[in-house]
């Protein structure tokens, strides 16, 4: 598998859109990997995990051919992870001309929970006047595996929104595995139990809170505890890479400052455009 992080920031971006805090000023001045668009990722150039409101800018920056995307897997309904407006542009004939002879995909498979499904259906009705022939929607249920485009997904409950079944995913292809755990606080014992004995090559964790205590997002303390739990359950080995993602200015540290701390604990900080071969 080839995982590419297209955006590695939280909902407000980093530096945040209307913010002038010290962390944002440092990030803006330093540039480069310190600039973080809203979160989404691309697998093997054909499957999107979440759909960021910055996807258009990410397409331009990383020279992406998104007409080749066959599947879109959504973690939850927050707008920074499910930009339904941009998705609907994929459904309009004149907004997106798909060249099938050049590898374009006629129908995109969309996966999400109840709230995502409701937003999707409303957008089809209002923005596409009911003409949703370029999409097939599939409802995702925690713990019920599904396959799409050669990937096997195991949806697991996130700890993020009380009124929604937000999800993280264990992803497998040809015996290689990624645990993609964005937008979640500390996980429940039942979630960990499903992962028992299943070794992951990459563990990508939310770290919006940085060195601060976690809540509906994780901080470094929760990242360390999660890694220890995964080790105790045999979910990782000595070759597993641990990557921190979904960073926020609310940590109080610029990304380069937090990177120094995270590396002391054995973590890698994700950056926009980062490619991980699994």
Instruction: Give the separation between CA 135 and CA 113, rounded to whole angstroms.
Output: 16
pLDDT for 120? 98
Q: Taking phi first (over 0 means left), then psi (-120 to 50 degrees means alpha), and beta for anything else, what does residue 103 get?
A: left
CA distances from 141 to 114, 157, 162, 184, 251 (A): 9, 9, 16, 17, 32
Instruction: Note the Cα 233 to chain centre separation in Å.
Output: 24
Instruction: Give the separation between CA 86 and CA 67, rounded to whole angstroms.
Output: 13
Instruction: Give the separation between CA 209 and CA 196, rounded to whole angstroms.
Output: 27
Which range is least confidently modeled, 70-84, 88-102, 154-168? 88-102
Instruction: Note the Cα 110 to chain centre separation in Å.
Output: 15
Q: Which of 160, 183, 185, 186 is nearest to 246 (CA)?
A: 183
- pLDDT above 90 covers a percentage of the chain that reads 96
In this structure, are residues 136 and 164 in contact, taking their beta carbons and an 8 Å threshold? Answer: no
Query: pLDDT tier at 179 (50, 70, 90 boundaries)?
Result: very high
Element of type H or E holding 122: helix 114-127
The token duo for 278 is: 């699994």
Q: Which of 106, 107, 135, 105 is nearest to 120 (CA)?
A: 135
pLDDT for 89? 96
Query: pLDDT tier at 18 (50, 70, 90 boundaries)?
Result: very high
Query: pLDDT tier at 47 (50, 70, 90 boundaries)?
Result: very high
Query: pLDDT tier at 166 (50, 70, 90 boundaries)?
Result: very high
Chain segment 224-255, per-residue pLDDT in tens: 999 999 999 999 999 999 999 999 999 999 99
Query: pLDDT tier at 29 (50, 70, 90 boundaries)?
Result: very high
Q: Taking each helix axis from N to C terminus, what angle separates 255-264 and 22-30, rounded to the nearest 10 degrees? A: 90
pLDDT for 57? 98
- Cβ burial 148-165 (10 Å sphere, 16+ → b, else e): beebebbbbbbbbeeeeb
This prediction's pTM: 0.96
Q: At residue 162, does pLDDT exceed 90?
A: no
pLDDT for 21? 97
- The CATH topology of domain 2-277 is Metallo-beta-lactamase; Chain A (3.60.15)
Chain segment 87-106, per-residue pLDDT in tens: 999 999 889 999 988 899 99
Locus of tokens 């990459």: 202
CA distances from 53 to 28, 59, 100, 146, 221 (A): 20, 11, 26, 26, 29
Question: Domains of the chain: which residue ranges?
Answer: 2-277
In this structure, are residues 243 and 9 in contact, taking their beta carbons and an 8 Å threshold? Answer: no
Instruction: Give the separation between CA 81 and CA 37, rounded to whole angstroms.
Output: 12
């Amino acid at each position: 598998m080839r995982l590419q992080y297209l955006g590695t920031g939280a909902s407000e971006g980093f530096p945040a859109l209307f913010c002038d805090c010290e962390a944002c000023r440092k990030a803006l001045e330093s540039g480069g990997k310190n600039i973080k668009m809203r979160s989404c990722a691309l697998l093997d150039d054909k499957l999107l995990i979440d759909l960021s409101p910055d996807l258009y800018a990410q397409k331009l920056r990383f020279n992406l051919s998104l007409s080749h995307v066959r599947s879109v897997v959504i973690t939850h309904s927050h707008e920074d992870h499910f930009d339904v407006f941009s998705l609907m542009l994929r459904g309009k004939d004149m907004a997106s001309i798909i060249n099938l002879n050049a590898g374009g995909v006629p129908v995109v498979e969309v996966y999400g929970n109840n709230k995502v499904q409701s937003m999707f259906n409303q957008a089809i009705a209002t923005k596409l006047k009911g003409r949703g022939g370029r999409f097939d929607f599939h409802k995702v249920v925690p713990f019920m595996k599904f396959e799409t485009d050669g990937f096997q997904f195991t949806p697991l409950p996130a700890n993020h929104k009380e009124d929604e079944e937000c999800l993280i995913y264990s992803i497998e292809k040809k015996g290689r595995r990624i645990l993609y755990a964005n937008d979640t606080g500390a996980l429940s014992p039942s979630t960990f139990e499903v992962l028992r004995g299943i070794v992951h090559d990459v563990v990508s964790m939310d770290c919006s809170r940085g060195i601060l205590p976690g809540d509906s997002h994780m901080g470094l303390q929760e990242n360390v505890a999660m890694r220890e739990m995964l080790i105790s359950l045999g979910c990782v080995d000595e070759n597993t890479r641990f990557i921190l993602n979904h960073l926020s200015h609310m940590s109080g540290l610029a990304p380069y400052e937090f990177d120094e701390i995270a590396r002391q604990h054995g973590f890698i900080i994700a950056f926009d455009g980062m490619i991980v071969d699994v």
